[in-house]
């Protein structure tokens, strides 16, 4: 897969098969578009035109909740689809290009364009371009119908909403894999270890963060996975307001624990929210709840393990 970062660097081609979009999370709706394009192309001259940054992050940062993909993972996932050209543009470089002008740029580079987009596709300055304009200017436009889950349209914005609300299981369905969070860690205050639940203390990054509460997560280390419980919140029992993302890895052997402590970044996969954040009367009550949380999570892990349900956890 060849990577291009300037629209002016697009190569001259007789015929191309391309799609344009943010593709954050590469959900099942995106995959349907990619499948159609790859199938029609018969493996020749496939282009994905996407962006380093989301339009909303630039134009209205207060309204932007975060990315589904960790930085760099969009490219990793798209590369696995055997795309020929990965065009990663800076949104700032193209945000003022009118939609018709953007099409003209493509037509100057490509003699015949086959383009694949979703029903509500928008592009160009202020999103003034749509599928009607595409059909007017390009001969071969394929509009891919929306994908629905439980009657809801699958979209990156909807998946972000689900994650923010703690509905991890429905986000999982729309992504066809667990939502995963990759972050650096910092030294904590040692409270978890004192209670018998040592944690990795992750930092907030550009990814969307699930709702406060306790989650059944999977900690991924190389080709191994471990059951884990992750707490997101501000520790109201201690009357603090600082955001914490704390993961306790369950059944971790000493040798692997030593290796994990040396890591700069950690990866957790969210499987299910098990309870909301709660203020406890004291640390002893908190400790008792943590034992209960761990038991619930271990049972959930064993149930999934029985059915071989972790296959899609290994695929990145």
Q: What is the pLDDT of residues 249-279, one digit of tens each?
A: 998 888 888 888 888 899 999 999 999 998 8
Which residues lie below 8 Å from residue 184, measured CB to CB, with a gap of 6+? 202, 203, 205, 264, 265, 266
Nearest Cα to 167, choosing from 158, 19, 176? Answer: 158
Q: Kind and range of the H or E element at 91?
A: helix 91-94
pLDDT at 310 over 80: no
Q: Which CATH number fits domain 178-313: 3.40.1160.10, 3.30.2020.30, 3.40.225.10, 2.40.30.30?
A: 2.40.30.30
Residue 138 CB neighbours (<10 A): 16
Locate 176 and state its tokens: 């066809």
pLDDT at 309 over 80: no
Q: pLDDT of 60-94, one tens digit each? A: 888 889 999 998 999 999 999 999 999 999 989 99
- What pLDDT score does 311 carry? 60
The CATH architecture of the domain made up of 11-152 is 3-Layer(aba) Sandwich (3.40)
User: What is the model's pTM?
Assistant: 0.92
């Amino acid at each position: 897969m060849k990577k291009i970062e300037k629209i002016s660097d697009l190569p001259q081609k007789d015929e191309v098969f391309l799609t344009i979009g943010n593709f954050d999370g590469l959900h099942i709706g995106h995959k349907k578009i990619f499948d159609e394009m790859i199938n029609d192309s018969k493996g020749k001259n496939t282009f994905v035109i996407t962006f380093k940054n989301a339009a909303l992050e630039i134009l209205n940062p207060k309204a932007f909740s975060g990315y589904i993909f960790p930085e760099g993972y969009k490219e990793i996932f798209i590369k696995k689809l055997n795309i020929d050209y990965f065009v990663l543009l800076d949104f700032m470089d193209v945000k003022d290009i009118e939609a018709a002008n953007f099409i003209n740029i493509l037509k100057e580079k490509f003699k015949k364009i086959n383009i694949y987009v979703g029903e509500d596709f928008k592009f160009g300055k202020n999103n003034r371009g749509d599928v009607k304009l595409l059909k007017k200017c390009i001969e071969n436009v394929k509009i891919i119908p929306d994908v629905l889950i439980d009657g809801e349209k699958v979209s990156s914005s909807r998946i972000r909403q689900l994650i923010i609300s703690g509905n991890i299981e429905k986000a999982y369905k729309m992504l066809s894999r667990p939502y995963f969070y990759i972050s650096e860690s910092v030294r904590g205050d040692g409270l978890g270890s004192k209670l018998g639940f040592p944690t990795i203390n992750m930092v907030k990054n550009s990814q969307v963060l699930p709702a406060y509460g306790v989650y059944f997560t999977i900690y991924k280390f190389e080709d191994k996975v471990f059951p884990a419980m992750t707490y997101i919140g501000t520790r109201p029992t201690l009357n603090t307001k600082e955001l914490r993302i704390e993961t306790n890895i369950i059944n971790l052997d000493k040798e692997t624990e030593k290796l994990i402590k040396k890591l700069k970044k950690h990866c957790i996969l969210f499987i299910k929210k098990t309870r909301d954040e709660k203020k406890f009367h004291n640390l002893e009550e908190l400790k008792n709840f943590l034992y209960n949380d761990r038991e619930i999570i271990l049972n959930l892990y064993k149930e999934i393990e029985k059915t071989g349900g972790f296959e899609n956890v290994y695929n990145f």
